[in-house]
């Protein structure tokens, strides 16, 4: 019975380990959102329910350990096949996300679902099958002892202890699932990466089967274990995602997979881009031969013009590789700048590849809201810039009234907050919602729309001030820029001022709170409108 408990424990561990690793595998292509987690959890639960039914059906027809061990060997091989089999599917998903092709996205999601469903169904069969095997083995042991009296026979009947046996096996399987929920997150993925996590989970199950099985299942499991190990060493993708590159995305200077992201640095001539994961969006740019970035990052430079005086310091929440910090250092001098970024590897990449090593720049690896909440009340900033994106999503906890109240408390009297917000050329729902939320906290809120090609995703900068101000005052500040101002910056500021407007969200625009933030639903609607060209 102990070996049966070990088998069920390992099956539960591999099931939850696969589920946690599945979310990480899908995240680069489909994003990290509640809908992705709901899809993964729902798929696994559906597969486990089918597996439980199938396991009960098979157990009544094949109540032998050998049959269960062979089934779980197949399940382990299915887990090991997920990384290589999913690579072309996720490549299609990346292209679908980049081009907003609904057919590619849905097809890729369906294909990936099938990859996970097969092993999960077979793993789900383990516990009910093990219960039936335990009953069968106890019946055989009891029938071998013909000297027992009928009364003793009844007390030792397996059916009399069916509930206890089923409960113990279920408890052991659940304990394995508990370990499987933490093992990938705390150790396997950070230490070995997503791909090797699947291999290690598969090899763990195969090793247990090889240890406890007899005759043919043992040798099959051992052969499968060696095959998975050899395949893991042999199948080495060209870099983390190099095989997905279409040749039109620039030269890859650097790529790696951190605990949070797939990170790639690409270059065209002297221009460099930081891309995270495999969807839409560029997170940082580096133009060593130009003053400005030619992107939404330049618009953050306009925030101080809503103040009476030049900025004395800056806080970046979502600093990425330091584009905004570099722009501020160039145009506003060596003012103290704190850049908060969740992923420490991105900060290291910024220093190595984007020149983010300015003496006035302090990089902090932390969640932006949590870091700000930990600061004393006297830690205040003239400008706070929020650019924390996992395209196309903004983390919901950086969109709420409570968060912006925290921001306000850490702004100086003339302080300004600026938030990068996504939109299409026709759908401003997220811009309106963010403006309405900021109006709950700040007296003056403005929007500057970044012009761009039609029928594409675009950005707006939503700006709020702690002290009441006017659009006319901002435009006057732009007009009063001194003649010594670099021409590139002066021309940009004058053109951008024409796109500035007072925020006037409709009364129907939602106000985000910690209790209820519909940011993901609005983004889904934005993407749907874009796909349908509405």
Q: Which one has a higher pLDDT value, 372 or 451?
A: 372
On the CB side of 529, how many CA atoms lie within 13 Å of its CA? Answer: 18
Any idea which residue has 């095989």 for tokens? 243
Give the pLDDT score at 409.
97
Strands (E), 130-222: none
Query: Which residue in 371, 520, 504, 512 sits closest to 440, CA to CA?
Result: 512
Find tokens 């300004």 and name the residue: 416
Q: How far apart are CA 249 and CA 66, in angstroms?
A: 51
- Strands of the 337-341 sheet, one edge to the other: 361-365, 337-341, 314-317, 381-386, 411-424, 457-465, 444-449, 500-502
Note the pLDDT tens digit of each residue in 9-44: 999 999 999 998 887 787 666 655 566 677 788 888
Tokens of 487: 């021409």
How do residues 229-275 score in pLDDT, each as one tens digit? 998 888 765 444 444 444 455 688 898 878 787 888 989 888 899 98
Token pair belonging to 473:
């005052």
For 446, phi then psi, to 5°, come to -130, 160
465 compared with 109, residue with greater pLDDT: 465
Q: Could you tell me which residues are beta bridge partners of residue 386? A: 317, 419
- Does pLDDT of 175 surpass 60? yes
Neighbours of 181 (CB within 10 A): 17
Which region holds residue 294: left if phi is over 0, alpha if psi is between -120 and 50, else beta? left
Per DSSP, 187 falls in state I
pLDDT (tens digit per residue) in 313-325:
999 999 999 999 9
Mean pLDDT taken over the chain: 86
Distance, CA of 87 to CA of 198 (rounded, Å): 13
Backbone phi, psi, residue 280, to 5°: -85, 145
Residue 487: pLDDT band by 50, 70, 90 thresholds?
Answer: very high
**Residue 280: per-residue pLDDT:** 55
**pLDDT surpasses 70 at 189:** yes
Tokens of 122: 């077979």
Q: Would strands 500-502 and 444-449 be described as parallel, antiparallel, or unpaired?
A: antiparallel
- Residues 101-138: tens digit of each pLDDT: 555 556 656 767 778 999 999 999 999 999 999 988 87
Domains of the chain from N-terminus onward:
2-234 (1.20.1250.20), 271-531 (3.40.50.150)
Residue 528 pLDDT > 90, yes or no?
no
d(CA 418, CA 402): 16
Mean pLDDT of 485-512: 95
- Measured from the Cβ of residue 220, the count of other Cβ atoms closer than 10 Å reads 19
Residue 160 clears pLDDT 70, i.e. is over it: no
Instruction: Kindly report the pTM of this predicted structure.
Output: 0.76
């Amino acid at each position: 019975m102990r070996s049966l408990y070990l088998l069920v424990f390992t099956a539960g561990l591999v099931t939850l380990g696969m589920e946690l690793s599945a979310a990480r595998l899908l995240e680069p292509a489909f994003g990290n959102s509640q809908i992705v987690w709901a899809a993964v959890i729902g798929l696994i639960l559906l597969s486990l329910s089918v597996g439980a039914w199938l396991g009960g059906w098979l157990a009544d027809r094949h109540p032998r350990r050998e049959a269960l061990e062979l089934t779980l060997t197949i399940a382990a091989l299915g887990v090991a096949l997920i990384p290589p089999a999913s690579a072309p599917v996720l490549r299609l998903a990346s292209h679908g996300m980049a081009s907003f092709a609904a057919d590619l996205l849905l097809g890729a999601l369906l294909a990936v679902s099938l990859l996970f469903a097969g092993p999960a169904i077979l793993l789900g069969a383990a516990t009910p099958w093990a219960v039936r095997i335990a009953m069968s083995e106890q019946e055989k042991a009891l029938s071998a002892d013909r000297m027992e009296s009928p009364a003793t026979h009844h007390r030792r009947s397996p059916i009399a202890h069916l509930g206890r046996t089923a409960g113990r096996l279920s408890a052991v399987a659940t304990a394995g699932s508990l370990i499987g929920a933490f093992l990938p997150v705390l150790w396997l993925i950070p230490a070995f990466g997503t791909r090797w996590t699947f291999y290690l989970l598969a090899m763990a199950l195969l090793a247990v089967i090889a240890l406890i099985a007899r005759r043919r299942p043992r040798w099959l499991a051992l052969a499968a274990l060696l095959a998975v190990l050899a395949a893991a060493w042999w199948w080495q993708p060209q870099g983390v995602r190099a095989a997905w590159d279409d040749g039109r995305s620039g030269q890859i200077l650097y790529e790696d997979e951190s605990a949070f992201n797939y990170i790639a640095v690409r270059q065209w001539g002297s221009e460099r881009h930081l891309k995270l994961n495999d969807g839409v969006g560029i997170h940082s740019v580096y133009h060593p031969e130009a003053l400005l970035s030619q992107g939404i990052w330049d618009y953050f430079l306009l925030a101080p013009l809503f103040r009476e005086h030049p900025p004395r310091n800056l806080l970046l929440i979502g600093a990425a590789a330091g584009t905004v910090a570099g722009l501020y250092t160039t145009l506003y001098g060596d003012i103290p700048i704190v850049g908060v970024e969740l992923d420490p590897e991105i900060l290291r990449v910024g220093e190595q590849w984007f020149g983010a090593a300015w003496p006035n720049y302090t990089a902090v690896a932390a969640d932006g809201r949590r870091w700000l909440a930990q600061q004393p009340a006297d830690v205040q900033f003239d400008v706070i810039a929020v650019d924390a994106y996992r395209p196309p999503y903004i983390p919901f906890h950086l969109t709420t009234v409570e968060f912006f109240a925290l921001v306000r408390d850490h702004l100086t009297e003339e302080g300004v907050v600026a938030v990068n917000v996504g939109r299409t050329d026709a759908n401003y729902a997220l811009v309106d919602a963010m403006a309405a939320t900021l109006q709950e906290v700040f007296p003056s809120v403005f929007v500057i729309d970044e012009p761009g090609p039609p029928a594409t995703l675009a950005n707006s900068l939503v700006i709020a001030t702690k002290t009441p101000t006017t659009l006319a005052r901002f435009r006057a500040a732009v007009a009063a820029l001194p003649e010594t101002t670099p021409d590139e910056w002066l021309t940009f500021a004058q053109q951008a001022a024409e796109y500035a407007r007072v925020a006037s969200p409709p009364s129907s625009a939602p106000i985000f709170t910690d209790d209820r933030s519909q940011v993901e639903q609005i983004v889904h609607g934005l993407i749907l409108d874009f796909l349908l060209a509405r």
